[in-house]
Chains A and B, each alone.
Chain A
Amino acid sequence: MSEVFDIAVIGGGHAGVEAVIAASRMGASVALVTTDVTAIGRMSCNPAIGGLAKGHLVKEIDALGGEMGVLADRAGIQFKVLNKRKGPAVWSSRAQTDRKLYEAYVREAVELLPNTRIIEDSVVDIKVEHGRLTRIITKSGSVIKVQSAILAGGTFLNAIIHTGSVSTPAGRVGEQPVIGLSDKLAALGFTVGRLKTGTPPRVDGKTIDFSLMTVQPGDNPPRPFSTRSNGNIRNQAECWLTNTNEACHQIIKQNIDRSPLFNGQIKGVGPRYCPSIEDKVVKFAEKPSHQLFLEPEGLDTDQLYVNGFSSSLPEDVQLAALRAVPGMGDVAFVRPGYAVEYDYFPPTQLKPTLETKLIENLYFAGQINGTSGYEEAAAQGLMAAINAVNKLRDKPAFILDRSEAYIGVMIDDLVTRGVDEPYRMFTSRAEHRLHLREDNADQRLTEYGYRCGLVPEERYLAFGEKYRRVTDEKNRLGEQRVPTISIPLKYKSLRKRGAVSLSHLLRIPEIHYQDLGEIDHTFTPIEGVIGESVEIQIKYEGYIERQLAEIERFKRNESIRIPAGFIYGEMPGLRTEAREKFSRIRPLNLGQAARIPGITGADVSLLMVYLRASGRIGPKSRI
C-alpha cells in the first residue's frame, strides 16, 4: 500500500469513531484501522449513553461538533434526565439505546465520510524516526505511511476475559484481542499498566416475571442530547427495577472462592464505583439487598442487560444467584457476565493535547488511557483528532481548561494526576460545576467547535440566535412587572408590596418560567430550551455569578505559563520529589503544576518565585 494518510485512527470504538469523524470533517485524510468492521461503534457494556456527568460530556461533544449525541438520539429508545430534583448543574441526560441501531448509525456515519478509508486489520507495530511517528504496521503485513496516529485500542490490548476459572484471550466476548502492540510500545519506552472492568449478564426477557418488578419509565416529553436532533425522539421501551436478596447473596458467598476476583486470577485494578456483585456482597456484607436495573438491549429483541450485576463468577453461580431474585426465578441467560483485563498506558505519559510525550504525532485516546465509559472515550477521541489535525496544519493546540468543560476536567485529571482505577466522570470532579451545566454546553463550546471547522456556519448562526433570544427574554422578564395582589397565595415567600418584575418572581424557588403565564395573563412564555435557559440563569444568578468570579481567580494561575522545555534541574531548593514530578508531568502552567499529586504549596510558590524572579514567565508557547 503506497497511500499516505494524514491520520490513522487505530480502533473503531467510541473514541476511534469520534476521532475519525472529526479528523475527516476537518479535511484530513484518514485511515480507520479496526480488527472487525462489523463491530465499529459497538457498545461493549450497557445499552445506554449518558448518565450522571456523562450526559454533560455528550452535550459537550455535541457542542464541539462531535457525533455521539446525534447517534444516541437516533438510536435512543428511552430518555431520562437524572437528578431532576436537584439543581440544574447536576441534571444529567441519559438515553437507553438500541444496541444494533446504534452500531448501524455509527457505521453509516463513518462510511459516508469523505477522504476516509476503513481498513479491516490490526496494528501490531509502529515505526518511529527521530522521535516522530512515521508508519504503522499491520498484522497482515501492510506498512502504512501516516503523518500521525491516534491509538484508541479500548480494552483490546493483551485482553483476557474471565468467567469463573475460564480465561480466554479476547477484547470482547467472541472478539480477538490485539496482541503485541503494547509490548512494542513498552519497548519504545512506554509504561504499561493493567486494569480490569466487568460487565453483567444479558438475559432473555421472555423468562422474566415483570409483575414482580417496578417499571422505570422515561421522561415525558423526552429530551434529546443534540441540538441537531429536531424533536424526532421517542420513548419506546421501559426499564425495570428489582432487588437482590439474602438468598442471592448466600449463593454468591458460598462460591466466592470460584471468583477470579477473589482467588488471585485477576490482577488488574477494577473501578470502585462500579463494583462487581461479588465485591458488593463481600465488602458491604451488612446490606441485605442491592438494586438491579433491567435495561432493554433493543426494540427487536427480548434481551435485557442486568445493570448492577457485573460479575466474573462462573456461569452456573451467576445463574443460580440471579434466579433467587424476585421476578427472575426462571431467568435464562443469553450470555453470562464476565470481567476483562487489559493493558492501559498511565495517561501522565500524555500532553494535554493527548499526544504522547515520548513520540511526536502519536496520540492516545479512550480506554487505553485508563478511562471507562463510552462518553469519556468519545470525548478523548474528538480532542485527540482536533489536536492531531491542528498540529499537522501548524495551528495552536486545542486545550480546554477545567473551567470550560468536563472534557477539560477529565483530560487535566488524566495527564496531571493519572489514574489508579478506571476513571469515570463525576460531577464532583469539576470544581466549577455550577458553571459546567448541560444547558449551557453549547454556550461554552460552540464557538470552539466552529473555529475548529466542526460546527457548520448554519448551526453556528442558530446558536447565536438562541442566546440572543435568551438575552432578550431575560430583559423582557426584568422589565415586565406584575402587581403582587394578583399573585396566587400559594407563593407565600413573596413579601414585597406593590408590583414586582417577572424576573423577581422567577427567583422564588417554587415559581417556574412556565408558570409565569398563569400569574401574569399578558405574558406568553416561550416553549422549550430558551425558557429553561432563562429560568436557570435568573433563578441561580447568585451562585452562577459567584462561580464565575471563582473562575476568574482560577484563570490567574492558569495564565502563568511555564515555558516549554523548562529545565527543573536548574531550579535550586526544589525537593527531589517535586523536581522528578515536574520534569515528568511537564505542566503547562502554574495551575496545572499545583494539581500534581504530592506537590506542595511550597513547591509551587518556589516555582512561581523562580519564574517571576528570573523573568521566565514566558509567552503563550506551543505545546
Chain B
Amino acid sequence: MNQPRPLDVFGDPGHPDTICGIATPLGRGGIGIIRLSGPRAMPLAEKVFHGKHASLSGLSHRVLYGNFCDPGSDIALDEILLTPFKQPNSYTGEDVVEFSFHGSPTILRRALEILIAGGARLAQPGEFTFRAFYHGRIDLTQAEAVADLVDAKSEQSAQAAFQQLQGTLKNRIQTLRADLIEGLGWLEMSADFVEEDLEFKKVEEIGERINSIAQQISVLSKAYQRSRIVRDGLVITIIGAPNAGKSSLFNYLLARERSIVTSTPGTTRDTIDEFVNLGGYPVRFVDTAGIRKTAETVETIGIDRTINQLSESDLIFWVVDGSVGLTEDDYETHQLIADRPAIALINKADIATGQQIDHCRRSVDLADVIVISAATGKGIDQLIDWLTTNHLNFATDRRIAPFLINQRHLIALEAAREHLALADRALVKKESYEFVAFDLRKAAECLGEITGETTPDDILSQIFANFCIGK
C-alpha cells in the first residue's frame, strides 16, 4: 500500500483552481477521455471546442459533437464528443467538461498540454475524487470504490466495484454494527439496571451473538483475498529449468487468451508480466529467469529475485521437461516451492515417451500434476479448468461476500474480529459485563471506521493516497 500523503497536496479546496487529467487508463481501449473540472472549466472548453454551439451555457449533460482545436493555431487536433456538466450536478460537484477523443496517447497528451496552456493545472492523483468527496458527492467507501472501478481489470472486478459504489458493503457493515450494538445493549442493561428485576440475557446468548457477528466478519475478511485478486490479478509465476519450455507455455497462454489487458515488460528485473483475463478474472503471469545453480554473483541476484517473486505469487507453475526428466536444478526448484501453492506441469508431452512422463510424474512429488505440450496445446484446457476450479472459483463460493475489500477494510475487519474474540474470552472467563462491553464497543467502532462513521485523519489520507490520476 502506498504511503499516505498529506492532504495539502490538493491545495485549498475552498478556493479551487481548474484541473485536468486523463480519465481513462493510458494506452487502452478505443476512446480516451479527458476530464476538466473547476471554475474555469466552461470558458476553457469553449475556447478549445469548435462545434455547433459557441457557448456551453444551457447545454449541461448533453453530448456535443465537434473538433478539439489548439486556440494558438486553430488546427483541429481530433474529432471529439464533449459533455458539459454544470455544477453541482457533476462528478466533482464543480463545473466539469468531459472530452472523448479517439484514444491515441499522443493526442491525449497534446490535448492536455493545450488545456494547461489555457490555465488548467494537471490533476494530482485522486484529486477529482477528492473534490467529489469535498463537495459531498460521495462518501468514503464510495470514494474507494471509484478508485477500484477505474482500476478494474476485468468485468468481475467492475461489478464488485459497482456494487460497492451503490453502497452495499456499507449496508452490510451497518447491519453488522447494528447487531453488535444490540448485543452491547444487553450487556449495558445489566450494568445500569442492577436493581430492576429485569431478565438479563444469558451468557450463552450473548456469546452466540458475538460469535455469529465474528463469523460474518470473517466472511467479509475472506473476500479480501478475492478482492485483491479481482483488483490486482491472480499472480502466477512460471518457474523451471531454462529449456523446460517456460517461455513457450507463457506465449501459448497469452496467444490462446485473446483478452490481454496490459503488458508490462519487466525491464528492471528478469521477469516478464502479462495480464490475461480468465473466466472474468485478471491473471498475471510472471515468467522468471529460472533457477540455475551457479557461483556467479549476477546469477545469485537473479535467484534472489526469483525467490522474492515466488513469495509474492498466489500460485506457481513448475514447468518440467518431460523428455529429459528432473535435473539437479529442478531439485533446487523443488526445494524452493515446497510449502507454496504450486502445480507441476510436465511439458513436451508431444516428444516424451510414456515411460519418461511416468517417471517424471513420480519424481516431481506434488499433489497436482498436469501433462502438457506447449507446442501442440495438449493439456492446456485441462490446466485452465484446474485453474478456474481451484483458484478462481469465487462466484459459487458462498462463504465469500461479493464485495471489494481493500486493505483498509481488512485491517478494520480484523481489528473488529480481534475485539470480538477478546470479548468472547472475557465472557468465557466470567468477567463482569462491562469488560465484555469494552471490547464490543471497540469492535463496533472498527466497523464504523469502514463506513466512515468514525473517521480518524489517517483513514482519509490513506484513502486519497491510493488514487491514480484522472479519476
Contacts and interface: CB of A to CB of B under 8 A. Distances in A.
Interface string A419-436: 000000011100101100
B134 A573 contact: yes
A575 interface: yes
A600 interface: yes
B61 to A, nearest CB: 20
Interface string B1-27: 000000110111110000000000000
Interface centre among B8, B195, B197, B432 (most CB of A within 10 A): B195
B63 interface: no
A85 B196 CA distance: 16
Given A53-B192, A90-B191, A608-B457, A613 B136 contact: no
Given A86-B432, A90-B434, A290-B197, A613 B11 contact: yes
Contacts of A613: 7-8, 10-14
Contact of A86 (B140, B191, B442, B460): B191
A572 B194 CA distance: 49
A500 interface: no
A600 B142 CA distance: 14
Contact of B432 (A90, A426, A556, A606): A90
Interface in A551-598: 553, 556-557, 570-575, 594
Contacts of B434: 86-87, 89-90, 427, 433-434
Interface stretch (B202-210, B340-348, B446-454): B446-454
Contact of A601 (B12, B140, B194): B140
B438 interface: yes
Interface stretch (A10-18, A194-202, A542-550): A542-550
A83 interface: yes
Given A570-B14, A610-B14, A601 B133 contact: no
Nearest to A431: B441
A602 interface: yes
B53 interface: no
A557 B456 contact: yes
B378 interface: no
Contacts of A85: 432
Given A90-B434, A543-B438, A613-B10, A573 B135 contact: yes
Nearest to B464: A609
B188 interface: yes
Contacts of A602: 133, 136, 138-140, 452
**Contact-residue bracket for chain B:** 35 or more
A608 B438 contact: no
Nearest to B431: A87
B65 interface: no
A426 B196 CA distance: 14
B457 A556 contact: yes
Nearest to B451: A601
Given A573-B137, A609-B134, A614-B14, A434 B438 contact: yes
Contacts of A575: 136
A604 interface: yes
Contact of A614 (B12, B138, B193, B435): B12
A398 to B, nearest CB: 27
B262 interface: no
Most buried by B among A293, A434, A608, A613: A613
B93 interface: yes
A52 interface: yes
B455 interface: yes
A214 interface: no
A202 B30 CA distance: 86
Contacts of A604: 455
A605 B14 contact: no
A182 to B, nearest CB: 32
Contacts of B133: 602, 605-606, 609
A600 B191 contact: no
A82 interface: yes
Contact of A573 (B8, B136, B193, B442): B136
Interface string B110-141: 00000000000000000000100111111110
A325 to B, nearest CB: 14
A265 interface: no
A621 interface: no
Interface string A265-291: 000000001000000000000000111
A623 to B, nearest CB: 24
Contacts of A395: none
A606 B136 contact: yes
A574 B134 CA distance: 8
A572 B431 contact: no
A510 B196 CA distance: 27
Contact of B435 (A53, A83, A543, A605): A543
Nearest to A51: B195
A547 B441 CA distance: 11
B252 interface: no
Contacts of A293: 195
A612 interface: yes
B95 to A, nearest CB: 13
Interface of B: 7-8, 10-14, 93, 130, 133-140, 188, 191-197, 431-435, 437-438, 441-442, 448, 451-457, 460
Given A86-B433, A602-B140, A605-B140, 10 more contacts: A431-B441, A550-B442, A573-B93, A573-B137, A574-B136, A602-B133, A605-B133, A609-B460, A613-B8, A613-B10
7 contacts: A273-B193, A293-B195, A431-B441, A553-B456, A573-B136, A601-B452, A614-B13
Pairs of residues from A and B, 9 with the lowest C-beta to C-beta distance, nearest first = A601-B452, A573-B135, A428-B188, A87-B432, A573-B136, A86-B432, A602-B139, A426-B192, A601-B455
